[in-house]
């Protein structure tokens, strides 16, 4: 054994020399092949095209309704205190369905109902309601009404439709019944957001105001009265984004270079940040309400703790365009991002704590097209991501959970 080990260097030297000779021969053969296949032959010093083999066939793009499966893979993170078995969930996205709204113009916003598998798409010519699972058109309502924002009242699925004329129109989509109007905004209504666990909606406007509405008296055949909890004008500019925390403690308002945090229970400004670039066009809370996620005009995603209101991390968006829409998966593991250059990207966090790092964040592009993404919404179960664009299309991405049980190694 000792003799063999001692002779190993000489054997390796022989291998190296033989390897060099083989590489030299391969280099000469490949070079000769390349020279003979340049696409030209020499005859009488005149270069003429040589008819070679035909170009490889180009695989046609699959239709949008049958796009290849994408998998959001999960990396298992094990701490010294972990107890086995450990269960992880990752998601398959087997297809995408694209639906053209049967009217001209952009889809301004979309809203998913909490008690039904439906999505409402607001356009400049009414609202179109689709089945989330089958993607079939159920009905259209409010035809002729330009819609700039909309949302369902979770308790009874009454639809609040905001308009560029500053009005909010109440509609029962199940009965296609118009219920009434509120007209307290001075300019166009930019967002309508329900406040979880409270009989309240908050609306925002180009007039720089947010209004919290008491909708406790809303019924399937009765609109809530024009009863305001409070009006706040701290933004002092048009409001470009709006969100309410799932724990009902905060309302986040995005405007030019600024984010304002209000309390839904009273007209109190908790925080005001003036450190952003351009318009804050999208913001959302994590499902556990521990983080506020903000997109500004500097192509950044910023993560703030709602406990300290300190910035914990930030990340440059590495896809084309400015962020126009954000949505978080109900289990807290996924952030969906839409841009004004038509890109939808998924950021997957493992563990689902919205702490960015090279090891715990995976990014996957779901869509890249020419038209801007106007809105993104996961349904209440997290089984479908719905997106809308300013060319009048909506997109359905099913998220199929794959559960893995990891036994102790």
Q: How far apart are CA 155 and CA 215, in angstroms?
A: 10
Selection from 239, 242, 209, 238 nearest residue 325 by Cα: 242
C-beta separation of 377 from 119 below 8 A:
yes
Collapse the DSSP code of 113 into the 3-class scheme (helix H, G, I; strand E, B; otherwise coil) and give the result: coil
Question: Among 102, 103, 95, 194, which Cα is nearest to 154's?
Answer: 194
pLDDT given for residue 82 in this prediction: 53
| φ, ψ for residue 30, nearest 5 deg | -65, -40
* Distance separating alpha carbons of residues 44 and 394, to the nearest angstrom: 62
Is residue 126 one of the residues assigned to a domain?
Answer: no
Within-domain flag for 234: no
Structure confidence at residue 2 (pLDDT) = 33
Q: What CATH number is attached to the domain comprising 293?
A: 2.130.10.10
Domains of the chain: total: 1
Instruction: Compute how many other C-beta atoms are within 10 angstroms of the C-beta atom of residue 221.
Output: 10
Instruction: Identify the CA nearest to 128 among candidates 147, 115, 114.
Output: 147
Domain assignment present for 189: no
Mean pLDDT (whole number) for 96-110? 92
139, part of any domain: no
Tokens representing 297 are 């005009």
Residue 39 covered by a domain? no
Say how far residue 30 (Cα) sits from the centre of its chain: 48
pLDDT digits (tens, 9 = 90+) for 365-407: 999 999 999 999 999 999 999 999 999 999 999 998 887 776 7
Residue 40 maps to a domain = no
Identify the three-state secondary structure at position 353.
coil
**Is the pLDDT confidence value at 74 over 60?**
no
State pLDDT tens for residues 241-290: 999 999 999 999 999 999 999 998 877 888 999 889 999 999 999 999 99
pLDDT tens, 26-66?
Answer: 444 444 444 333 333 333 333 222 222 222 222 222 334 44
Q: Between β-strands 251-255 and 241-244, what pairing exists: parallel, antiparallel or unpaired?
A: antiparallel
Asked if the structure places residue 363 within a domain, the reply is: yes
Give the range among 41-45, 123-127, 143-147, 171-175 with minimum mean pLDDT.
41-45
pLDDT of residue 88: 67
DSSP structural state of residue 243: E
- Tokens representing residue 283 in the block: 């913001």
In angstroms, the CA 155 to CA 169 distance is: 17
Residue 208's SS3 state is coil
How far apart CA 168 and CA 172 sit, in angstroms, is 13
Q: Is residue 80 part of a domain?
A: yes
Domain membership of residue 290 as a residue range: 63-106+275-409
Strands 393-398 and 343-349: unpaired
Detail the DSSP E strand segments found in 94-188. 97-100, 107-112, 118-123, 126-131, 137-141, 149-152, 159-162, 168-172, 177-182
Tell me the three state secondary structure of residue 8: helix
Could you report the per-residue pLDDT of 173-204, keeping only the tens digit for each? 988 889 999 888 999 999 999 999 888 899 99
pLDDT, position 63: 36
Which residues in 264-371 belong to E strands, given as ranges? 266-273, 282-285, 291-295, 300-305, 311-316, 323-328, 334-339, 343-349, 361-368
pLDDT at 128 over 90: yes
Instruction: Give the CA count within 13 Å in the CB-facing half-sphere of 235.
Output: 27
pLDDT at 355: 62
């Amino acid at each position: 054994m000792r003799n063999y080990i001692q002779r190993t260097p000489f054997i390796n030297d022989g291998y190296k020399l033989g390897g060099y000779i083989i590489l030299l021969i391969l280099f000469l053969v490949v070079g000769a092949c390349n020279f003979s296949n340049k696409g030209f032959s020499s005859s009488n010093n005149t270069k003429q095209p040589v008819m070679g083999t035909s170009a490889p066939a180009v695989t046609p793009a699959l239709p949008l309704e049958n796009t290849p499966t994408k998998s959001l893979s999960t990396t298992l993170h094990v701490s010294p205190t972990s107890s086995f078995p450990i269960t992880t969930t990752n998601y398959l996205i087997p297809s995408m369905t694209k639906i053209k709204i049967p009217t001209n113009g952009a889809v301004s916003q979309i809203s998913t109902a909490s008690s039904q598998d439906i999505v409402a798409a607001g356009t400049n010519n009414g609202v179109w309601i689709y089945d989330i699972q089958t993607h079939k058109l159920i009905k259209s309502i409010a035809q002729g009404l330009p819609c700039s924002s909309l949302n369902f009242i979770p308790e009874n699925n009454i639809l609040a439709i905001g308009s560029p004329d500053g009005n909010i129109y109440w509609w029962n989509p199940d009965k296609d019944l118009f219920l009434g109007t509120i007209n307290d905004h001075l300019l166009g209504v930019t967002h309508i957001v329900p406040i979880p666990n409270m009989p309240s909606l908050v609306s925002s406007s180009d007039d720089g105001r947010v209004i919290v509405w008491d909708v406790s008296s809303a019924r399937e055949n009765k609109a809530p009265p024009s009863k305001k909890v409070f009006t706040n004008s701290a933004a002092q500019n048009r409001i470009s984004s709006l969100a309410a925390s799932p724990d009902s403690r905060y309302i986040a308002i995005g405007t030019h270079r600024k984010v304002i945090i209000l309390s839904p229970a009273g007209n109190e400004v908790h925080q005001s940040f003036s450190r952003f670039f351009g318009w804050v066009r999208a913001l959302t809370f994590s499902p556990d309400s521990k983080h506020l996620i903000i997109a500004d005009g500097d192509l950044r995603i910023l993560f703030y703790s709602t406990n300290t209101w300190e910035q914990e991390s930030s990340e440059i968006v590495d896809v084309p365009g400015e962020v126009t829409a954000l949505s978080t998966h109900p289990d807290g593991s996924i952030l969906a991002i839409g841009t004004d250059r038509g890109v939808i990207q998924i950021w997957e966090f493992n563990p689902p704590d919205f702490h960015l790092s090279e090891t715990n964040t995976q990014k996957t592009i779901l869509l890249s097209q020419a038209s801007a993404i106007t809105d993104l919404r996961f349904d209440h179960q997290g089984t479908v991501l719905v997106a809308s664009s300013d060319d009048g299309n909506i997109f359905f991405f099913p998220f199929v959970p794959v559960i893995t049980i990891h036994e102790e190694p």
